[in-house]
Each structure stands twice: as structure tokens, then as C-alpha cells.
Structure 1
Amino acid sequence: MIALCILSAKAQNNIVVNPDKVVSKVSPEMWGVFFEDINMGADGGIYAELIKNRSFEFYKPLMGWKTTGEQLKEGDLLVLNRKEKDSNNPRYLHVNSRAVKKGDLSMTNEGFKGIGVKKGLTYDFSVYYRQSAAGVKLHAELVDSTGKVLGSTVLNPERADNQWALQSVTFTASETVQKAKFTLWFEGAGEIDLDIISLFPGDTWKKRRGGLRGDMVQMLADMKPGFIRFPGGCIVEGYDLSTRYQWKKTIGPVANRKLIVNRWNTEFAHRPAPDYYQTFGLGFFEYFQLAEDIGAEPLPILNCGMACQFNSAELVPLDELEPYIQDALDLVEFANGDVKTPWGKVRAEMGHPAPFNLKMMGVGNENWGPQYLERLALFTKAMKDRYPEIKLINSSGTDPEGERFDLLNTSLRKMKADIIDEHYYRAPEWFLKNATRYDSYDRKGSRVFAGEYAAQSVGTTKPTNKNNWQCAIAEAAFMTGLERNAEVVQMASYAPLFAQAEGWQWTPDMIWVDNLQVYGTPNYYVQQLYSLNKGTDVVSILADQKVIAGQDGIYASAVIDSRTKELIVKVINTSAQPLTRNVAVEGGKKLAAKGKLIVMQNANLNAVNSFSNAVNLSPKEQAVKIKGNSISLTMQPYSFNIVRVPIQ
């Protein structure tokens, strides 16, 4: 009896991996990112424009601007409207100047929660103007809270034929300041019209003028995501259909893109954002370009004729759905069409004659009910008739269980949906309990996209949610179940992606930014570790002949990477105790004598990262010795452990 107990204990302490037993392939798109313009994710975030309300199109035309001057008189600065001539960008500023010195007539922009200024960095100032006679000079300055000038330039408008023209000039900042302002002061007598007053830093991604914030894109590139889902999220639906996302209005020259209010402007009483708009400087062309830049598959989500069902629940009648369906068909042509096609030509004119190779598209975001199924059926038929190769992603609603989910999941599987999008914002305990969620899913049926998920430390939509280690390690444990079931789960992405430190509406979020800095949360590093250690094939990993999903607080999955010829084992210890396990590798493959161990760990489940300690919880790497074909793995309490070993 004693001998049997000893043998049983040894068996329980063994984790058995067999690289010869391939369970399934891992989708190249498996681990990706979800982007939505929430929390100032686009304007004031990854879209690097520093001027708020640059074209005076906010509900309050001068929101973000302050006008001053010793010579300022009523009527000297007027916002005019040319709606009948330009419905996309109708407003502009008419200036009547009599200024002879600084302080006579000026206007100051506060930026998005201030303007971050970096010493030695260049800044590109540009403006559209119209004048019938030259005479007014524009002095552009970045100033700190005391009025000290951090960098300045002078722009002399050259054209004087009463036609709109664009002119730009570059200057360099002399100091680093977290919250500066932009001042434009006038010198000279005369009248001039101004529009799209713009300022971009010189360190945009790939140095593209008018581009994206480089450090934020770099955080995404460092993840090597398999896909990027855009543009959301609830902004796809809009509060009502008038504020839904319409991709055709976000392409072409930036000056022609029509600004709309962001649906997160007034969504949360605890975080009102009256100055939150979408300029669409980051539009569908830029999303496709971003995906291409970071090696990710583009995954656009389109409105299906339904506004947000939590808000207005506005619907397009079925017999009026055709324009929405045509938008989806035209998007495929825009992304993939030959330059001789109408929408392929538009893409080429924007500077990208080569196709973007779109392979998949989402129809609707978090929509539910029979109304969604009716509209989806029409979208699916039209798309499959024209582009059968495009995989369609369908919504399973807002929750991972309940009547809404059951109706959609059952109906979509009967419809043989390509991919079903499941969302779960739940407590950490839910993620631990659901690591086996997909073990019983049909291997031959529709695939799953875990399109939005994040453990909630306090409760869904609670403003006090934190990106703490308890949430991140629960997600890591849950992701072993996604990886083990890669035959069912094709893709997964944490949500939301970005949050501005002072401009957020929703927590938790994966990456936090302010005007100068960016840091990844513990959740970011968990996502990154899975993506960087994705492998190509899921292989068998068992303990006592069972999948490892909570026994003694341990969760595990394993893959091989056929390209690098490595075995990658992920083991999470969610218990408060250190645990030692022997990872025994069976089958015909031999392990190399050395490998590496990557560990994320903290004994404090409330531990977080911050601007002052950005890598408090981040991966640490060390060498590990291999004896024979087994690995002795000692796991610290609350730790995420990855063993990566060459195999022969």
C-alpha cells in the first residue's frame, strides 16, 4: 500500500508531454490585438495629431481653443460655415488682423490633455489658408505652463489668389515638457482664412508625416500579433445609425474626411468626455497599412444595419439593407481589387497599388437576437456569392452564456458560420473555471474567435478595475485552454487595447499612455508571451492522463514550433505555494541539453505596472539544463512559466 502511494505521488508530480502526438495545428492568426477608439485610443492617442479640434468641427466650434489679444475686437476671429460647398469640412476660421507685435492677437490650443513636447524633436506645423492679399504672418509656438517658449517658427502664407492652399514648416523643441500648449499669434494687417491647423511630432511610426505615434505602434509590433481587429467595438454600431462607423468616409485625403462625435463621448456618467470626437485621420487605409507594417492580418468589422442595442437599438429595415451589404462588398474590392477596379483605384491613389490581401471580415459587433440573424443571412449570401474565399466572423452577442448566446450559438452553427465571435468580461475566477470551456466543442463545426476578453478585478464596467497580476495570471491560465483547443479556437484578442491616463472611459486596458510615455500592463506581457511563443502545432500534455486545468492550481499547454524545431511548454501556477513538477517528454524526439525558462511572477496578486515602474511585472529569462528527456520545473507561487527547448 505504501509503495502504491509513493507511485501515485510520483505520477501526480509528473507532467507528460509527447511532441509526437500532434493534437492540431495552431492558426497563424491565433494571438492578435483588438483596436477601438475608446479611452482616447485614436484621436489623442495612436493618431499623432497634437491639436484638438483642428478644423473647428466640434459641436462647440472653438472647443479646445482660447483666443486673446490686446487688439482683439469682436468679429476679428469668426468661425464661418460653407456647408453648401463642403459638407465634410464646412467650418473654417476667418481672421481679421491688425496686430503689430506678439500679444496683439493670438489663439492657444490645449491639445489632448496637454501636448507632450520632447527636447530635440522636430514638429511639423501645417495649415490650410486662403487670402486675397499677403500681409499676415503666422507665428507658431509650443509653450509651457508659464508661457516659456519651447520651440517656434514663422509661416509666411505665400499664395494670395483667394484659393485654399496648404503650407507647412518644421521647427525643433528645446525642452521636454509633459503638458505644453500650442499658440498661434498673428503679425501684420489683413484678412486670412484658416482651416485644419495641425501639429505632428517628427517621431511618427516610420516617420510618416501625419502618421501614427511611434512608441504606441512599437508596442504592438513587439507583440508580433497574428491579426489586428478594427475599428471596434461599439463604435462600429454607433449610439444610433447616424453615428455608426462608415469606412468609406474614412479614406481619401484627410482634409475631406468628415468628423463625427465619438460614441464614448457621453456613454459613462463617471467619465464624461464632451471633447471626444473622431477625425478619422486614422481611417481604414491607415488600419490596413498598420496591419501590413506589423505583419498582422487585417480584420475589419462592419455595421450590419443595427445600432447599439444597449442605446437606441435602431434598425435598418431588411428591404433597405442593400447599401450596407454593398459597403462590405466594396471593402473587399478596396482591399484586394486590381487598380483598374473603382475601389482598387482609390487604394492605389492613396499610395498602395498592391492589394492588402484581406482574408476575413466581421459582420456586426456584439449584436444579438433574431434581428441580427435575419440581417446576417443577407450579408452572408451576398458575400459568399461574390467572394466565397472571405471568411466571415459572426457575433454571439455580449456574453458567453445565457439566452442570447444560446440562440446565436445554436443558430450560427446550423448556418455553418465560418467563425463565431465570443466575448467575455468576467471575474478572474470565471477564467480559471472556464479553462476547459472548449474541450467539448465540436471539432468539425464553426471555429471560435475569442474576440474580446479581459478579467475584471472589481466588476464589469467598474471604473475601479485594475490591470493587476490576479487578472493577468487568470487570463494566462484561461489561454492554456484556448491553445489546447486550437482546433476549435482560431483567434483571440484582449480588449480594450489602449487607454490614455487622463482620458479613459473603460478599465482595465492592455496598454496605458500619457503625453510622453507608454507602458504595458501585466496583461500585455501575458499576451505577448503567448504570441511570441505561438508555435505551429499543439501537442499532448497531460498529468495523470488528464488535461492540466486547475489540478493543484496548475494549468498547462504545449506546442512545437516546426520552423525552429523547439518544444514550448507553458505552465501556470495559480496557487500560493511553490510547486515542483517533472516535465517528462515521451515519444521519439530528444531534447537538447540546454533550453530557456521564461518566468512572470509576483507573490502579490494586486501588483501592477505603472509609468514609474513599467516593468514591475514583466518576463525574466534564464537558461535551464535538461537531464535526459525530462525537465525539473520549480514554479514560484502565482507564476507563469514557459520552457522552450530545442528538439531533435
Structure 2
Amino acid sequence: MRMHRSLLSALALCMGMSLNAQTEHEMVVKTTKPGAEIQSTMYGLFFEDINFGADGGLYAELIKNRSFEFTQNLLGWKSFGNVEVRTDNPAFDKNPHYVRLSNPGHPDKQTGLENEGFFGVGIKKDAQYRFSVWARLPQGGESQSFRVELVNSNNNPVAKQTLNVTSADWKKYEVVLTSPETDAKALVRIFLTSKGDIDMDHVSLFPVDTWKGREGGLRKDLVQALADLKPGVFRFPGGCIVEGTDIDTRYNWKNSVGPVENRPLNTNRWQYTFTNRFYPDYFQTYGLGFYEYFLLSEEIGAEPLPVLNCGLACQFQNKDPKAHVPVDKLDCYIQDALDLIEFANGDVTTKWGKLRADMGHPAPFNLKLLAVGNEQWGKEYPEHLEPFIKAIRKAYPKIRIIGSSGPDSEGDKFEYLWPEMKRLKVDLVDEHFYRSQKWFLTQAARYDNYDRKGPKVFAGEYACHAQNKKNNFDAALCEAAFMTGLERNADVVHMATYAPLFAHVKGWQWRPDLIWFDNMSSVCSVNYYVQQLYAYNKGTNVLSLTMDKKPVTGQDELYASAVWDKNEKAYIVKIANTADKEQNIRVVLDGTKKGQLTSGTATLLHSSDLDAENTLANPNTVLPQKEDIQIEGNVLNVKLGAKTFAVYKFLKK
């Protein structure tokens, strides 16, 4: 009987060992032959003024319609008393509208304005705000005065200052207000406090505490979130706003440089696109313009990547060929491209290089990349693109030119454009894909068979669109799995940027988005942390990682890639377990010797709730967790939890 029990125990042990062997996955990393170089631009940022990402967002201006140039000149303002919108003898020729405040005609009446800001004017306790205005005395004569107030959401003024206007010429006046309280929905109110007339234009309010402390600068917390991603490339200004709903409303970079007071207003193409979330007060002031984009790129350590219009308006919105610029009329558009390169890189003795210097940056921005066109398609696009390429190659042969594969990740438009981009010999092709979880998981091997000798890939706009298009953990995990394929194919994929970047919680029209914010604070999505984990652990060279001698692209719902970082002397392995079960994984760092590797770290991103999101109310719902791990010689044995993305890092002695 004892022998029978022993036999059963032995059989059970053997069956258990066999079952364990069947369920263990061995991944082999070849460490002795570092492969393709990973570009410094591999992971970066895409910016477009959508979801109030610029005005009302990254650009820290708190006043809406500060120059009275909206289609309805007082949109965003309430006027009381004797207020008149005028255009005679304006302060700025490209923004000709201004207001005249005049005596209300009775000692107990008031004349003035109040501004609602962007979903309110957000003020913080003890923070300082710089109010400025261009003003004059239209009749000349004695000094006249007005009072500016910060008014809380209970309609009580909490800070106020009086300014005296002393000249018949347009001059800038400013004062700093300190808020004694916090209020997300305050407003700015102006009272005329003397009997004579005052003309006002470009009424502005900025927090003093902006990014780098610049007057009229960028919102500090939002830029810090960008810097914390350590981006390699920064693409701007879009997106569909590059095209415009029509040619007249395309993004014109030349209108976005020079003094901010004289940058003309442009309609935002996202103002009227979604009638279910309609914002008739959504415009582009160009306060955040190409100079600011270049400067921001420099300060966060990213290569600037401007995108220019190629003479085609948005093809989704314009079916009539007459809506576009004929190919033989493209000269001024091509000149815009050449002038932009001069603005970015030209000597201060050149026209556009001098403007850059006059704006405060004599040194060149060292532009290397330029995209022409956004999501164009059909024969019209290569016909328009070709003369740009010829002119840029002739004048600036070192500039790398980026073309587009259209709005889709596959299909007729995509299949037509890729051969055309090869024929035109663009340096990179911009691919866009907003797709489901299933698409992202099945596309992990997407670039494994791409032509190694053709143009490189810029995955310029992508995001996993889960149900209800949320920034939930499930979407982020699918992106992490997909990105192992980007990394494994770094010889083909040179750049990748999630899109869109920003969204105001009260003003969004498109989701998901990488960073959400309101007037007071911001939150990084789970997707943000996936991007950050890849950027922080980018490495310098791809390493071969296989399971059963094949790349790991979804077998048993596992996805993996590996890199070598020659600067840190580190091996980095990324594994996404998208299964509903814990998985035993054995990682062999083949080619390393006993004692060569130090104890390592594991950074895990996990949630048992696939619908979990980071929100302003709960910003820390899903965050990466870092822990120390031990490696036995050159073998790492782990039990990787269900629905987990892991980054393992080991330093080589």
C-alpha cells in the first residue's frame, strides 16, 4: 500500500513538472550582436490645437478673444454701459478691432467689460497674474483711468488695481494682481473710472508663474508633463488644422511669428467639425506660434518637426478639385517651406533668420525634419508634393522630408501612396492609425516584413480606441504590446507619436488623449505612462528576442522586445502579458557570463480593472510600480501577472 502511494505521488509530481514545463515560456535574448540603431527621435510628441489644446490649454493666456477679432467681436465678453467696437486707426493692422469705453451718461451708471475666460478664469491662492492692455486716449488731453478686477464665481472682486492711461498714442500698460483665493471659474472685469474715453486692445491676463517664467508664456504643469516624457521629436502644429477646412483657413506659419499683438486670428477647423460637441468660440490666436513651437522643442530636448500645407485643403471636407491650389500655382507655398527653413536655420543676416533673432533667438534652431502635407490622398497628393521635394532638395539637401500614406493604416489610399512615396524618394512616410484593441494586438508584427531599403516609417498619429474611446488600462496595454513591434523594427520605424496630445475636460471633441486638464490641474493618462516607459528605456540598439526561435508577437498572448543601451551599459527587456492568466516566463540573456549582470529592476504597469482610468479626481489609479529583482546568472525567472506590461532592466558590469 505504501509503495502504491509512493508511486502515485511520483506520477503526480511528474505530471506537475510536465504541466509546468508546458506552461513556461522561454525567451532568448541575443546579447552578443546588437542590431539596428534606435533613433533618438524614436518616441516623441504630436501636438495639434484640438480639444482646446493651445488657446485655453498649453498657451497660458486666460482671456478669451483678447483682441476682439472673433467673428462676433465681443464673443467671450459681456459689455455694460457705453462700449463700442471700432476699427479706425487701430493699434495693429492685422488685428484691426478694438473697443472704446466712454462715459455712461449718468453718475450712477457704469461702463466696462467682463471676460469669461476659457470655461472660466482659473486663479489660485497667492498666485500672481499679469494683466496687460494696449490703450490710448482718443481725444488726448488729461489722464483717464480704469479698474481691473479678478472676480470670483460668487461675483465678489478678490483683487483689483487701477491704471492710468496717459497718452493719445497706443501704449502698453500692465499691472500684477495677486489672488487671495482659489477659484476655477473666476472672471476678469474692467470698469471705466473716469469721465473721458479710453480705447483698449489686446486685453491679456497671464499667470506670472509660466514655464521658464516667460511673460506671455506657456502653462507650466502642461509643459512639465511633456518634458517628463523625454521626447525625441515634437511634431507641430497638427493635424488637420494644417489643411484647414478650406485653403483660406489653413495654418499659415508666417502669420504665427512676429509680435503676438499683430498675429492675425484664424478660424480653428475643429470649431465646427463635431456638432454634438460644438464650440463656436474656438479660434486660433496664434499666440502659440512657430517660434514658440521651436523654442519649446529645444527646451524639452526634442527635434522640431513642423508640418506645412501642400496646397491641398482637407480632402474629407472638400470634394471639389477647385477647392485646392492647382499644381502650377504652388510657388508661394513652396516658398513658404523654403522660408521656414531659413527662419529656423538661417543666418541672422537673412530676412527670416533676422526675424528669429529679433524675436530673441539669434542661434539657429537646427531644423532637420520637415513634413509636407498631412492626411492627403489620391493622385493629387504626390502631384502637389513632388515640386516641394525638388525645391527643398535643391536648396537644402540635408533636410529630411516626410510624406504621408494618407488617413488609413491599410486599404486603397494606403496601398496607392506607399509606392508613390518610394518613387518620390521621401525620407519617411507618415502612417496614422486609430484602431481597436484587436487591431493593435494583431499588428505587433506589422513592420517585420517592410522594405528595409525604402523610406523609413513615422507612426505619426496613433491611439488604441477602446469602447467609448476611453483612456483606459486596456487600451494602454494594447498599445504597449503593439509598441514592441515598433521597437523590434527600429531599423524601419524611426519615429512614433501618440495622438492627440491634450484635452480640456470641458472642451474636448476627440478622445482618447494623452494628457487631460482643467483650469487648475492636469492628469497623465495610463497611455502616457506606457509612452514614458518606452522613452525612458529606449536603448541604443535592438537585440534579437525570440520564443521558439520566433519573434514574440502574440503567441499565448505575449508580446516582447529587447534593447541594449550602450550609454548605461544596460540590457532592457519589455514584455506585455495580455492574457487573463499569470504566465511563467524564463528570459535567457544569451551571451552574458556569470557575474556580469547586476541585480536588476522591474517596472510593472498593471490593473485588475481593464476599464481603469487616471482622472483629475483620481490621478494615481494606475501608475508604474518599480521593484528590485534578482537574476540567476544570465537567466531571469518571473511569474508575470495577468494583464501586465513589464520592463526589466539589468546593468552589465
What TM-score, normalized to structure 1? 0.95
Structure 1 residue 101, shift from structure 2 partner: 8.1
Structure 1 residue 102, shift from structure 2 partner: 9.1
Query: 1:60 maps to which residue?
Result: 72
Structure 1 residue 222, shift from structure 2 partner: 0.2
Task: Pick closer, same or farther for the CA change 1:103–1:513 going to 2, 3 Å.
Answer: farther
* Residues 152-191 of structure 1 mapped to structure 2, 5 A cutoff: 152-158=160-166, 160=167, 162-191=168-197
- The yes-or-no answer on 1:288 pairing with 2:283 is no
The CA RMSD measured in Å over matched residues stands at: 1.8
Structure 1 residue 97, shift from structure 2 partner: 2.5
* Residues 452-491 of structure 1 mapped to structure 2, 5 A cutoff: 452-458=461-467, 464-491=468-495
Query: 1:359 maps to which residue?
Result: 368
- The yes-or-no answer on 1:425 pairing with 2:430 is no
* Residues 31-180 of structure 1 mapped to structure 2, 5 A cutoff: 31-68=43-80, 72=81, 76-82=82-88, 86-97=92-103, 104-131=110-137, 132-158=140-166, 160=167, 162-180=168-186
Give the alignment partner of residue 357 of structure 2, picking from 348, 362, 384.
348
* Residues 572-583 of structure 1 mapped to structure 2, 5 A cutoff: 572-583=576-587
Among all aligned residue pairs of Structure 1 and Structure 2, give the percentage whose two residues are the same amino acid.
Answer: 49
Structure 1 residue 39, shift from structure 2 partner: 0.2
Q: Is the CA contact 1:271–1:505 (under 8 Å) kept in the aligned structure 2?
A: yes
How far apart are the structure 2 equivalents of 1:368 and 1:150? 54
Task: Pick closer, same or farther for the CA change 1:18–1:183 going to 2, 3 Å.
Answer: same
Report Cα offsets for 1:296-344 as digits up to 9, x if no partner. 0000000000000011252101111000000001111100011011110
User: Which amino acid counterpart does residue 72 of structure 2 have in structure 1?
Assistant: K
Give the alignment partner of residue 601 of structure 1, picking from 603, 606, 617.
606
Query: 1:631 maps to which residue?
Result: 636
* Residues 225-374 of structure 1 mapped to structure 2, 5 A cutoff: 225-313=231-319, 314-374=323-383
User: Which amino acid counterpart does residue 378 of structure 1 have in structure 2?
Assistant: P
How far apart are the structure 2 equivalents of 1:241 and 1:103? 47
SS in 1 for 2:194: strand
Bigger Cα displacement from structure 2, 416-425 vs 585-594? 585-594
- The yes-or-no answer on 1:20 pairing with 2:20 is no
User: Which amino acid counterpart does residue 531 of structure 1 have in structure 2?
Assistant: A
How far apart are the structure 1 equivalents of 2:83 and 2:161? 22
Instruction: Please list every run of at least 4 consecutive aligned residues from structure 1 whose deviation after the TM superposition is greater than 3 angstroms.
Output: 5-12, 82-87, 98-103, 588-591
How far apart are the structure 2 equivalents of 1:84 and 1:612? 45
How far apart are the structure 2 equivalents of 1:628 and 1:225? 34
How far apart are the structure 1 equivalents of 2:338 and 2:471? 39
Q: Is the CA contact 1:99–1:187 (under 8 Å) kept in the aligned structure 2?
A: no
Task: Pick closer, same or farther for the CA change 1:614–1:145 going to 2, 3 Å.
Answer: same
Query: 1:643 maps to which residue?
Result: 648
Count of residue correspondences:
633
How far apart are the structure 2 equivalents of 1:20 and 1:148? 70
**Which runs of 5 or more residues in structure 1 are unaligned?**
459-463
How far apart are the structure 2 equivalents of 1:7 and 1:426? 37
Q: Is the CA contact 1:23–1:540 (under 8 Å) kept in the aligned structure 2?
A: yes
Q: Is the CA contact 1:99–1:105 (under 8 Å) kept in the aligned structure 2?
A: no
How far apart are the structure 1 equivalents of 2:338 and 2:108? 55
Q: Is the CA contact 2:580–2:643 (under 8 Å) kept in the aligned structure 1?
A: yes
Report Cα offsets for 1:500-555 as digits up to 9, x if no partner. 00111111111000000100111111111111111101101111111011111110
Q: Is the CA contact 1:99–1:186 (under 8 Å) kept in the aligned structure 2?
A: no
SS in 2 for 1:188: coil
Q: Is the CA contact 2:101–2:192 (under 8 Å) kept in the aligned structure 1?
A: no
How far apart are the structure 2 equivalents of 1:518 and 1:529? 19
How far apart are the structure 2 equivalents of 1:49 and 1:101? 34
Report Cα offsets for 1:396-453 as digits up to 9, x if no partner. 0000111100000122123322100000010011000000000001112110000000
How far apart are the structure 2 equivalents of 1:355 and 1:169? 34
How far apart are the structure 2 equivalents of 1:308 and 1:560? 42
Structure 1 residue 86, shift from structure 2 partner: 4.9
SS in 2 for 1:339: coil
How far apart are the structure 2 equivalents of 1:102 and 1:46? 41
Query: 2:390 maps to which residue?
Result: 381
Query: 2:3 maps to which residue?
Result: none
How far apart are the structure 2 equivalents of 1:137 and 1:457? 56
SS in 2 for 1:641: strand
SS in 2 for 1:634: strand
Query: 2:568 maps to which residue?
Result: 564
Q: Is the CA contact 2:133–2:204 (under 8 Å) kept in the aligned structure 1?
A: yes
Q: Is the CA contact 1:593–1:627 (under 8 Å) kept in the aligned structure 2?
A: no
**Which runs of 5 or more residues in structure 2 are unaligned?**
1-13
User: Which amino acid counterpart does residue 27 of structure 1 have in structure 2?
Assistant: Q
How far apart are the structure 1 equivalents of 2:46 and 2:531? 12
Task: Pick closer, same or farther for the CA change 1:101–1:127 going to 2, 3 Å.
Answer: farther
User: Which amino acid counterpart does residue 426 of structure 2 have in structure 1?
Assistant: A
User: Which amino acid counterpart does residue 538 of structure 1 have in structure 2?
Assistant: V
What TM-score, normalized to structure 2? 0.94
SS in 2 for 1:286: helix
Structure 1 residue 94, shift from structure 2 partner: 0.9
SS in 2 for 1:190: coil
